[in-house]
Amino acid sequence: MQPKQPTSTRSRPWAVRPGFLVSLLVPAVLIASFRLGEITGHVDLFAFLPLVVAYVVVPFHNRLVRQRLFGDAIGETGGVARGAAPAYYRVVPLLALPAQLAMLFFATDYWSTGGLGALGMLGTLGSTGLYSSLLAINTAHELIHRGTLLERAIGGLLLSTVTFGSFKIVHLRVHHRFVGTRLDPSSARRGQNLYSFWLQSVPGGIGEAWRAERATLASPRWWRSELLLWYGCSALWCTLAWSLAGITGVVFFLLQSLVAILKLEMINYVQHYGLERRAVDGRFEPVTDRHSWSQEAHVTNLALFNLFRHADHHANPGRPYEALRLRSQSPTYPLDVSLMVLLALVPPWWRRVVHPHLDALPAA
């Protein structure tokens, strides 16, 4: 009688792949940097450690790690089978809310009482805003697409922690409908620099969200607007910041929100730069793989719930993050996405690197 062979994890579509728990390292890195600063006495220096992790350590590991991390079943083109351990994959993003609130609590207290110099305060602010964008806005992006009221509500609450309730409305009602066109404030045109894009996307997104709400709600029901709900929650977080650290806490909360929003718009800039949908017979062509930049940045995609399998997300907005696939026809940047975000800060270098790749894309 032949001995029974052990069952491979890959053969069990319901098996839990814990790689996406990497997302919870985001607040851990920030809080650890505070502690290291206190232990070493170099609080200003260690305030920049989270930025080093995001823009040096993570791109290095994206390049280094070619095999599956923590047994995660994400292949080069495939995703976890739909329906695999659905409770696990639904719970993981929900953990972002308590993690985000804990991170903001420690960051606000540290910024106001940690003995930071001007440079350290700047580093702490930039690190917190960046990590809020990664943890709060990115996770909310996944949750607002989900089918249950709880998931969508947690998504809205996450956005309220960075004063960005408008994203929930403009992303679902405007961005997905008009991506790659002049009607979408979150799509960057070829030749448009990041700074011009910020002036377009931030106020444009807020304006489009209010217009979408007015079109949806009858005037006597203005009080039912989601914008009022989420910005009301932001006011609550401001009040809690006041109780924790006074006006300093409020200033920190609002400034980290601004940094997080600008960081999110940098990602929008990178994900759709120069990719336009043509108008055919008075209507825009359907969204295809050609209208989003994607990349198999393994560690980044685990931490950000497959954010950079973006073409598949636009082709299938209801597909959960664990099932997203790398679309072979989607354009890909020559450098790691984290480095491309930094490159966007220097428009001449950005154009020099990106435009040859735009010119090389096959015609529709």
**Per-residue b/e over 85-122, b at no fewer than 16 CB within 10 Å?**
beebbbebbbebbebbbebbebbbbbbbebebeeebbe
Share of the chain above pLDDT 70, in %: 87
Which residue range is the domain that position 160 belongs to? 17-360
Which residue in 267, 297, 341, 323 sits closest to 22, CA to CA?
297
How many other C-beta atoms lie within 10 A of the C-beta of residue 142?
Answer: 24
Determine, yes or no, domain membership for 323.
yes
Residue 74 has pLDDT above 80, yes or no: no
For range 90-119, the mean pLDDT: 94
Residue 260, judged by CB atoms within 10 A of its CB (0-12, 13-18, 19+), counts as buried
What is the per-residue DSSP string for 73-128? ---SS--PPTTSSHHHHHHHHHTHHHHHHHHHHHHHHHHHHS---HHHHHHHHHHH
Q: How far apart are the first and last CA of the chain?
A: 59
**Given pLDDT bands bounded at 50, 70 and 90, which one contains residue 301?**
confident
In the prediction, which pLDDT does 75 show?
A: 41
Alpha carbons 228 and 234: distance in angstroms, whole number = 10
Please provide the average confidence, as pLDDT, over all residues in the chain. Answer: 86
For range 239-263, the mean pLDDT: 96
CB 318 within 8 A of CB 76: no
Determine, yes or no, domain membership for 9.
no
Q: 279: helix, coil or strand? A: strand
**Given pLDDT bands bounded at 50, 70 and 90, which one contains residue 284?**
confident
Determine, yes or no, domain membership for 4.
no
Strands (E) in the chain, as ranges, are 279-280, 283-284
Determine, yes or no, domain membership for 230.
yes
Which residue in 295, 289, 298 sits closest to 333, CA to CA?
295
Looking at the structure of the chain, the number of domains it has is 1
Determine, yes or no, domain membership for 92.
yes
Residue 10 has pLDDT above 70, yes or no: no
Residue 12 has pLDDT above 80, yes or no: no
Determine, yes or no, domain membership for 2.
no
**Given pLDDT bands bounded at 50, 70 and 90, which one contains residue 361?**
confident
For range 168-183, the mean pLDDT: 92
- Structure tokens that stand for 228 in this block: 């009022």
Determine, yes or no, domain membership for 1.
no
Q: Which residues contact 348 (CB under 8 A, 6 or more apart)?
A: none
CB 290 within 8 A of CB 364: yes
In the prediction, which pLDDT does 116 show?
A: 93
- Structure tokens that stand for 102 in this block: 């804990």
Residue 26 has pLDDT above 80, yes or no: yes
Vertex 22: Cα angle to 201 and 82 (nearest 5): 80
Determine, yes or no, domain membership for 95.
yes
In the prediction, which pLDDT does 173 show?
A: 92
Alpha carbons 323 and 17: distance in angstroms, whole number = 12
CB 23 within 8 A of CB 139: yes
- Structure tokens that stand for 8 in this block: 């491979």
Alpha carbons 47 and 197: distance in angstroms, whole number = 28
- Structure tokens that stand for 33 in this block: 């940097």
Residue 93 has pLDDT above 70, yes or no: yes
**Given pLDDT bands bounded at 50, 70 and 90, which one contains residue 69?**
very low
